[in-house]
Amino acid sequence: MALGTAFRAFFSALGNRQIADQIRLVLDQPTGTAALPAPPADVAAPSKDAAASSKPTPPVLKPKESMRSDAITLLATLQREARLLDLVKENLSAYSDAQVGAAARPCLTQCAATLDRVLGVKAIESASDGQAISVPESTTPSRYTWIGEGSGSTGKLVHHGWEASRVDLPHWTGVDADAHVIAPAQVQRA
């Protein structure tokens, strides 16, 4: 009987993300708790058509909130793909400028590629530094910041600014106790 249930759960989860999330929630519960979680309060009541059908509709369950912050996930991604922390935490005073530059180049190239991939980083303003631009009147200080004295809606661009066009951070699936781990310690077997 258990084998049949396992196959049924497997194939149901394979074809339906909601069922997969429900199964994951049940499996993630500590032993000895209720077999099924209660449906959340924001689940809508079934429609007349759904009530008339012979197959009950499973409630939509929200996945468990991750204990890991997006900042740690981004930093872990930059460490894994570009070794950013290894570079910035290294004592650079022991190396010449040429050695630091040689080590920084591949790290910075990989960091740029990673940020482009997960955040779609792009310039806010397409004009070149030093070029005169018009700032829209409806803009916010988060998008355009005025520097120096003066008035009006035109000025010289000092920095083009940056914005994310998307956020595609990797989904962290670790345990809560490891939520702040950026990179694991690596140990070679003796």
Q: What is the pLDDT of residues 129-164, one digit of tens each?
A: 999 999 998 999 999 999 988 888 999 999 999 999
Q: 10 Å Cβ neighbour count for 139?
A: 12
Q: List Cβ neighbours of 35 (8 Å cut-off, separation of 6 or more).
A: 26
Question: For the chain, how far is it from start to end, CA to CA, in angstroms?
Answer: 46
Separation between Cα atoms, residue 29 and residue 31, nearest integer Å: 6
Domain ranges of the chain: 2-52, 70-178
The predicted pLDDT at position 152 comes to 87
Q: Within 13 A of 14's CA, how many CA atoms are on the CB side? A: 6
The predicted pLDDT at position 54 comes to 59
Q: What is the mean pLDDT of each run of 10 residues along the chain (190 residues)?
A: 65 71 73 53 53 62 76 96 95 95 96 96 95 93 91 93 95 90 94
The predicted pLDDT at position 19 comes to 75
- 127-133 long-range Cβ contacts below 8 angstroms, 24+ apart: 127/157, 127/160, 128/157, 129/157, 129/158, 129/159, 129/160, 130/156, 130/157, 131/156, 131/157, 132/156, 132/157, 133/157
